Chains A and B, each alone.
Chain A
Amino acid sequence: MNVVEIHNLVKDYPLGSTIVHAVRGVDLDIPQGSLMSITGPSGSGKTTILNIIGCIDTATSGSVKVNGQETSSLTDRQLTDLRLHTIGFIFQTFNLVPVLTALENVEFPLLLQGKLSTGKVREKARQFLSSVGLGDHEEHKPAELSGGQRQRVAIARALVTDPSLVLADEPTANLDSETGESILQLMQKMNAERGTTFVFSTHDAQVLRYARTVVEIHDGRIVGA
């Protein structure tokens, strides 16, 4: 079963008087449990595709289905719900709420969901924070954590709601290679243990070896998979 189905996706940006064709007719299916990397040089359209899959951006034309739902037909509220319940995000740089502790950041989406009691939320958040190796950093604010630790917190937050899909936009770009590798190993482990679908973008060839599927993008088109 596919978590994501993309058909003839086109995304154009106006830039002054010209139009930038960021994505030019992409077709892509992402099966449940994938560990997929979208790779390509800067400006190739990887981030744009991730943003559209994550309901952060909208397509100019074409069809994008997440968990069977056509995203272009959803309202802002429905898209927000989809992000909250179905999709987990790990961003390249901006990731955590600066005024919340590591534990509170992990609790954040659970509290937004409002499904669990406060006690259960705390328990689950602790469990996920421990699973990324930060059990002893619960009370640290983001500013008190290293770049790698912040990404780990972000991974815990992305996974704590048990999403079908986790999107990570260049998750290791700002990390040293050792920390980057540990993050990728963590994602690999979570994929193996929980069956969570991971899609991450990168232009770093070293990172690609962690992916089971690699999709190569160039000038907004898939050139290899």
Chain B
Amino acid sequence: MLIWRLAWRNLWRHRGRSLVVGGILFLGALLLTFGNGVVSGMERGLERQVVESFTGDVVIASDKQEDDNVFLTMMGKQVEPLYRINAIKGLVDSQKWVAASLPMGKNMTMALHEDEGSPGYIFLLGVDFAAWHKFFPDAFKVEAGRIPAPGQTGILLPGGANTQLYETMGEVFVPEGVTDTSLLPLEARKVDAAHIRHEVVVMGYSNSMASFDQRLKVVAMGRYKSLNTIWGHFALTDIESYRSVMGYLRQDEKVVLSKDQTDILTSNDLDALLSGNDSAPKSGAASDTLSVAEATGTDPVWNLLLVRLKGVNAADGAKRLDTLLKQADLPARAVPWNKAVGVIGSLAMLIRGALLGFAGLLFVVAGIVIANTLAMSAMERTTEIGMMRAVGATRTFIARLMLCETSVLAAAFGGAGVVSGALLVAVTPWLGIHTGNDLLQMVYGGEIFHPLLRPQDLLACLLELAMVVGLASLYPMKLAASITPLDAITRE
């Protein structure tokens, strides 16, 4: 009690110095709190923009897929075919905590120039448009043409893909009948009419390095509603066209084998078959042969299964699904969304790291200023401290007194900084600060700047503040505690 009384009165007595130290603490805490709010808002916004418009919470890929990053792969890196999709989707959809799932084809393809020019490259997504639109109802805004109806084929080109194709091929691709050049990429608006095409020849590669090309009619162009700068490079096509491009078996090419044909094709004992022996392969092998048949393409082939969860976070959901897939011996594995989109998923973490680095630097500077100010204060009070030591105050008492003084300042000014930062975070969304820029939307956490402060962010701010104050107090505490009564007498 005595120490707190002394601390409070000393701070009041040296109001000017207290205000300097307090001001630094206030500003540091305010910036840290608001910065944490911006990053948390960004994390949430990024998650919403990626999960709700592009990936779902969890992505299931083939167990042969080496990298978790299946969307933003390096040029030409294949996404493995995902077999036994019916069994996988059945297993996934049967979980109560799964809201929906969507199979998808995804690979890098080459767009061929029909006049022997340079080819272009586009990421191609193969989807059932109806199911895709149901899974991502507001993800894509069509600016010209329309999304193909069931049974129709064609390609849907977002602006980013069109820009990329124009830059590499010198041609732009628009749906037939579109004359509005304002829909074209800025650089392509003065392109010669001869270089405006309504079909694009797309070539994919199979794992056996065979190539397949397919002429796809451009049926629509538009933009993804969020993160179009990134997702805009992903063109969409109907799944059957996609399978043709990738050399996968199309549904209409599926051949239904009789049991004998299946037995022969899957038999391990060809000698017995060729010797005319009537003893055809035993039906005991049926379960094995069936699974082999399924694995080699009885089910339609996709690359990914996107999963939307309810009441479970992505990391936990991916873990649970992975376990279930392994238990069911299905050739697939589950990846949370943030790992499936590579560096984009880690962006918030990277920015948080940068913010922490900046805050750390800020606090190092603040800590030095605070330590210096407090040390000067201790030196100025040599007489007073020496006298207290002379009448029986221990070194510990003096050190605690200094710590109490900085603690009071930290609690008052730092606390006010944290509260002000939290208020600023709460008020900012109401200001309606808007951006149409995709990349800025990532920072804003959406179209409206929407920082967010979670309890753990607040706790982190308080801990960081306490740490800085504690560290900044160490030297002044040591200095004050080392003052002796003799120092006071010498000073006098």
Interface residues of A (CB under 8 A from B): 47, 51, 54, 56-57, 76-77, 80-81, 83-85, 88-89, 91-100, 104, 108-109, 111-113, 118, 157-158, 161
> Once the chains bind, are A94 and B6 in contact (CB under 8 Å)?
no
- When A56-B484, A56-B486, A57-B486 are in contact, do A95 and B387 touch as well, CB less than 8 Å? yes
- When A56-B489, A99-B13 are in contact, do A84 and B6 touch as well, CB less than 8 Å? no
> Once the chains bind, are A98 and B384 in contact (CB under 8 Å)?
yes
* 9 sampled A-B residue pairs with Cβ under 8 A: A51-B485, A51-B486, A56-B486, A84-B392, A94-B384, A99-B9, A100-B6, A104-B5, A157-B391
> Once the chains bind, are B387 and A97 in contact (CB under 8 Å)?
yes
Closest to B3 in A: A111
Taken together as a complex, chains A and B put the C-alpha atoms of A18 and B410 apart, in Å, by 47
B268 within 8 A of A: no
| Interface-facing stretch out of B81-89, B103-111, B253-261, B393-401 | B393-401
**Chain B residue total in the interface (Cβ 8 A):** 27
Taken together as a complex, chains A and B put the C-alpha atoms of A92 and B388 apart, in Å, by 15
Q: Give the residues in chain A near B308, CB-CB below 8 Å.
A: none
Closest to B385 in A: A97
Taken together as a complex, chains A and B put the C-alpha atoms of A83 and B397 apart, in Å, by 15
A57 to chain B, nearest CB (A): 5
- When A56-B485, A56-B486, A92-B492 are in contact, do A108 and B390 touch as well, CB less than 8 Å? no
- When A98-B384, A99-B13, A111-B2 are in contact, do A93 and B394 touch as well, CB less than 8 Å? no
> Once the chains bind, are B486 and A112 in contact (CB under 8 Å)?
no
B251 within 8 A of A: no
A92 to chain B, nearest CB (A): 7
> Once the chains bind, are A83 and B384 in contact (CB under 8 Å)?
no
B324 to chain A, nearest CB (A): 65
B488 within 8 A of A: yes
Taken together as a complex, chains A and B put the C-alpha atoms of A91 and B384 apart, in Å, by 12
> Once the chains bind, are A76 and B395 in contact (CB under 8 Å)?
yes
- When A80-B389, A92-B492, A93-B492 are in contact, do A99 and B10 touch as well, CB less than 8 Å? yes
Considering the complex, which residues of chain B in the window 440-492 have a beta carbon less than 8 Å from any beta carbon of chain A? 484-486, 488-489, 492
Closest to A121 in B: B2
> Once the chains bind, are A83 and B9 in contact (CB under 8 Å)?
no
Taken together as a complex, chains A and B put the C-alpha atoms of A4 and B485 apart, in Å, by 20
Contacts between the two chains (Cβ within 8 Å), count: 74
Interface residues of B (CB under 8 A from A): 1-2, 5-6, 9-10, 12-13, 383-384, 386-395, 397, 484-486, 488-489, 492
> Once the chains bind, are B484 and A112 in contact (CB under 8 Å)?
no
Q: Give the residues in chain A near B388, CB-CB below 8 Å.
A: 97, 108
Residue in B1, B6, B489 with the greatest tally of chain A CB atoms within 10 Å: B489
Taken together as a complex, chains A and B put the C-alpha atoms of A73 and B148 apart, in Å, by 97
Cβ-defined partner of B390 (8 Å) among A56, A100, A161: A56
B390 to chain A, nearest CB (A): 5
- When A56-B489, A57-B486, A100-B9 are in contact, do A113 and B392 touch as well, CB less than 8 Å? yes
Q: Give the residues in chain B near A157, CB-CB below 8 Å.
A: 391
Q: Give the residues in chain B near A113, CB-CB below 8 Å.
A: 392
Q: Give the residues in chain B near A98, CB-CB below 8 Å.
A: 13, 384
Residue in B1, B9, B389, B485 with the greatest tally of chain A CB atoms within 10 Å: B485
> Once the chains bind, are A54 and B390 in contact (CB under 8 Å)?
yes
Taken together as a complex, chains A and B put the C-alpha atoms of A103 and B226 apart, in Å, by 70
> Once the chains bind, are A94 and B391 in contact (CB under 8 Å)?
no
Q: Give the residues in chain A near B9, CB-CB below 8 Å.
A: 99-100
Taken together as a complex, chains A and B put the C-alpha atoms of A158 and B392 apart, in Å, by 11
Closest to B397 in A: A112
Taken together as a complex, chains A and B put the C-alpha atoms of A95 and B384 apart, in Å, by 8
Q: Give the residues in chain A near B393, CB-CB below 8 Å.
A: 80, 112
> Once the chains bind, are A94 and B383 in contact (CB under 8 Å)?
yes
Closest to A82 in B: B392
Q: Give the residues in chain B near A85, CB-CB below 8 Å.
A: 392
Taken together as a complex, chains A and B put the C-alpha atoms of A93 and B386 apart, in Å, by 13
Cβ-defined partner of B392 (8 Å) among A93, A99, A109: A109
> Once the chains bind, are B390 and A97 in contact (CB under 8 Å)?
no
Taken together as a complex, chains A and B put the C-alpha atoms of A92 and B484 apart, in Å, by 17
B301 to chain A, nearest CB (A): 81
> Once the chains bind, are B489 and A77 in contact (CB under 8 Å)?
no
> Once the chains bind, are B6 and A99 in contact (CB under 8 Å)?
yes
Closest to A107 in B: B2
Q: Which 6 A-B pairs have the closest CB atoms?
A: A84-B392, A99-B9, A56-B485, A94-B383, A111-B2, A112-B392
B383 to chain A, nearest CB (A): 5
Q: Give the residues in chain A near B390, CB-CB below 8 Å.
A: 54, 56, 83, 89, 91
B378 to chain A, nearest CB (A): 15
Closest to B383 in A: A94
